[in-house]
């Protein structure tokens, strides 16, 4: 193990120890000992998983621009649900739908990262949920609480290049 990797693991250990002590709410030696063990186990998990998944969960930089659109999409979809709630209280039903969509992305080294990013992007907005993802046929089943089609941001996450 080289010096940079050792420094990275030591920095992780210190961060996890500080986080544990922050959540403990008080400092005493028994909490510090428990925090040290927690930090050691968590750092070991980070070291193991970091080696195992570093290459397979690599996102394209162009995907990061979509993250900037999420707050506005959340506001729009929350408003859509509030309006649907008031309509329901007034006696008119708001209908949702299950949508099956094919995502046209190629199978490449970004495939697992693309699927994780797609699930995050679709599920973070309050009006839609990714219910099922079929890897072999490259289809997703999305539940829209209100509306008959995917929102613009959800479609962009499903159709990641």
Sheet with 97-102: list strands edge to edge.
Answer: 97-102, 139-144, 128-134
pTM beyond 0.75: no
| 29 plus 84 within the same structural domain | no
| 69 plus 107 within the same structural domain | yes
| 68 plus 143 within the same structural domain | yes
Helix, strand or coil, per DSSP, at residue 107: coil
Beta bridge mates, 139: 102, 134
> How far is it, in rounded angstroms, from Cα 75 to Cα 84?
14
| 49 plus 95 within the same structural domain | no
User: What is the percent of the chain with per-residue pLDDT over 90, rounded to a whole number?
Assistant: 5
Per the prediction, the chain carries an average pLDDT of: 84
Asked if residue 153 lies in contact with residue 122, where contact means CB atoms within 8 angstroms, the answer is: no
Containing domain of residue 25, as a range? 3-53
Nearest residue to 124 via CA among 57, 58, 69, 62: 69
| 78 plus 121 within the same structural domain | yes
| 82 plus 46 within the same structural domain | no
Asked if residue 128 lies in contact with residue 151, where contact means CB atoms within 8 angstroms, the answer is: yes
Summarised one tens digit per residue, pLDDT across range 41-70 is: 988 888 887 766 666 667 778 888 888 888
| 65 plus 9 within the same structural domain | no
Domain count within the chain: 2
| 79 plus 151 within the same structural domain | yes
Q: Taking the CB of residue 110, how many other CB atoms lie within 10 A of it?
A: 19
| 21 plus 72 within the same structural domain | no
């Amino acid at each position: 193990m080289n010096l940079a990797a050792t420094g990275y693991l030591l920095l992780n250990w210190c961060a996890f120890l500080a986080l544990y002590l922050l959540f403990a709410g008080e400092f005493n030696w028994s909490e510090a000992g428990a925090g040290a063990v927690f930090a050691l186990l968590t750092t070991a998990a980070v070291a193991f998983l970091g080696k195992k998944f570093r290459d397979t969960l690599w996102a394209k930089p162009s995907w990061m621009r979509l993250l900037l659109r999420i707050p506005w999409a959340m506001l729009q979809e929350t408003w859509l649900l509030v309006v649907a709630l008031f309509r329901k209280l007034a006696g008119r039903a708001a209908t949702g739908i299950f949508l099956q969509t094919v995502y046209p992305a190629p199978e490449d080294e970004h495939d697992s990262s693309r699927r994780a990013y797609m699930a995050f992007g679709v599920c973070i907005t309050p009006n839609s949920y990714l219910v099922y993802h079929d890897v072999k046929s490259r289809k997703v089943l999305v539940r829209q609480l209100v509306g008959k089609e995917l929102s613009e941001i959800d479609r962009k996450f499903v159709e990641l290049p």
